[in-house]
Amino acid sequence: MNLSIVIPLKDEAESLPELCDWIARVTDAQQFSYEIILVDDGSTDDSWNVIQQLRAGNQNIKGIKFQRNYGKSAALNEGFKAAKGDVVITMDADLQDSPDEIPGLYNMIVSDGYDMVSGWKKVRYDNTLTKNIPSKLFNAATRKMSGIYLHDFNCGLKSYNKKVVKSIEVYGEMHRYIPVLAKWAGFRKIGEKVVEHRKRKYGVTKFGLDRFVNGFLDLATIMFVGKFGKRPMHFFGLWGTFCFLLGLFISFYLVISKLINFDYAITNRPSFYIALTVMIIGSQLFLAGFIGELISRNSPERNNYLIEDKEGLG
Ligand code: UDP
Ligand code: MG
């Protein structure tokens, strides 16, 4: 199969028929063999019925229905697990992403050899300050922390080599950071394509401003887990040792200066309390590292590495 199109959706019943028709028009024109995986993320409207009807008319349409609302990341994760196509494209269900971009995104993976391509909504129809300024800040922070130079991390329209989606796990609010997850999984050729941004035709947006708070915490998790997830002691141990030694050094200094001039009590000096605090913080960090290490040693995932290729082995 050439192409899997994964679409997370919550309460988008009105958009689905139009969206699927449009996708089918585009993929038929290109003569792709394809599947459309609609992941119903706990919709309370008629979406699942609509999906069943659409499937009756086009067997390329497939559906997954969550028992309740788990969020866009969870929906994408399930869609990725089910996808069978060589190229996987994600898009939003609300018709803000144009299916006409599909052939272009597909070719960048297949012909230009990108691991993943992210859409960039360069011209937004909703140029409001409340949506634009937080999203500019968010993109700048993500660029800085991840070292991936994309303009628009959060665009729902993206395409992937199948290998990428099978190597990553998306949860929490991490759908905003899939390029970062891909980079940590070892996929470095990440591209960008300017895509059209359209007006939401039906329904309302499902995300408010709280997205940015949770988003930043998730970025911190990704950066930390990616770097130290399998070796927590290297982080906590380093800083723990540093703090402890600093405290020890200050204590020595206090003891020596006490031996030289007998005339004051060590506890009268502010540096005594600093020494005490950093030594306690240091041992705490060290302990956190040990516990982290014990947990990661017991994790069933501890020896899961992503293997790209094998010769002579099954
Ligand atoms: N969505 C979802 N689960 C949720 C929230 C949203 O699957 O909990 C889907 C939604 O149906 C849409 C896509 O994620 O297909 C993007 O959501 P939305 O258009 O509301 O976000 P915006 O475009 O305003 O950023
Ligand atoms: Mg939208």
The mean pLDDT value for 220-231 works out to: 85
- Cβ atoms within 10 Å, residue 71: 22
The mean pLDDT value for 262-282 works out to: 90
- The least confident of 89-98, 154-163, 217-226 is 217-226
Quote the ligand 2 centre to 72 CA distance (angstroms): 11
Quote the ligand 2 centre to 12 CA distance (angstroms): 10
Cα atoms in the Cβ-side hemisphere of radius 13 Å centred on 193:
25
Please report the pLDDT score of residue 133 as a whole number. 79
Which residue lies with its CA nearest to atom 21 of ligand 1?
205
Q: What burial class does residue 269 get, using C-beta atoms within 10 Å of its C-beta: 0-12 exposed, 13-18 middle, 19+ buried? A: middle
Pick the residue with more confidence: 189 or 263?
189
Helix (H), strand (E) counts: the chain = 10, 7
Pick the residue with more confidence: 209 or 159?
159
Please report the pLDDT score of residue 68 as a whole number. 93
Query: Cβ(94) to ligand 1 under 6 A?
Result: yes
Phi, psi of 212 (to 5 degrees): -75, -35
Please report the pLDDT score of residue 219 as a whole number. 81
Ligand 1 atom with the smallest distance to the CA of 94 is 15
Q: How is residue 93 written in tokens?
A: 């269900």
Please report the pLDDT score of residue 1 as a whole number. 92
Please report the pLDDT score of residue 106 as a whole number. 97
- The least confident of 187-191, 213-217, 253-257 is 213-217
pLDDT above 90 as % of the chain: 69
Q: How is residue 159 written in tokens?
A: 């395409």
Confidence of residue 229 (pLDDT cuts 50, 70, 90): confident
Pick the residue with more confidence: 303 or 198?
198
Quote the ligand 1 centre to 104 CA distance (angstroms): 23
- What is the per-residue pLDDT across 20-39, written as a single tens digit (0 to 9) for each? 999 999 999 999 999 999 99
Judge whether residue 42 has pLDDT over 90. yes
CATH no. for 3-229: 3.90.550.10
Angle at 108 between CA 102 and CA 111, to 5 degrees: 120
Ligand 1 atom with the smallest distance to the CA of 93 is 15
Query: Cβ(181) to ligand 1 under 6 A?
Result: no
Which residue lies with its CA nearest to atom 13 of ligand 1?
92
Judge whether residue 212 has pLDDT over 90. no
DSSP 156-212: S-EEEEHHHHHH----TTGGGGHHHHHHHTT---EEEEE--B----SS--S--THHH
Query: Cβ(9) to ligand 1 under 6 A?
Result: yes
Judge whether residue 19 has pLDDT over 80. yes
The mean pLDDT value for 162-179 works out to: 92
Confidence of residue 206 (pLDDT cuts 50, 70, 90): confident
Confidence of residue 296 (pLDDT cuts 50, 70, 90): confident
Query: Cβ(205) to ligand 1 under 6 A?
Result: yes
Quote the ligand 1 centre to 314 CA distance (angstroms): 40
* Non-local CB neighbours of 106 within 8 Å, separated by 6+ positions: 2, 3, 30, 32, 87, 89, 159
* Non-local CB neighbours of 242 within 8 Å, separated by 6+ positions: 282
| Residue listed under structure tokens 């998790």 | 221
Stated pTM of the model: 0.84
Judge whether residue 210 has pLDDT over 90. no
Pick the residue with more confidence: 307 or 153?
153
Computed over every residue of the chain, the mean pLDDT equals 91
Please report the pLDDT score of residue 80 as a whole number. 97
Query: Cβ(166) to ligand 1 under 6 A?
Result: no
Query: Cβ(62) to ligand 1 under 6 A?
Result: no
Which residue lies with its CA nearest to atom 7 of ligand 1?
9
Query: What Rg do the C-alpha atoms of the chain give, in angstroms?
Result: 26
The angle, 0 to 180 degrees and rounded to 10, between the axes of the packed helices 47-57 and 16-30 is: 30
Judge whether residue 77 has pLDDT over 90. yes
> Residue 231, SS3?
coil
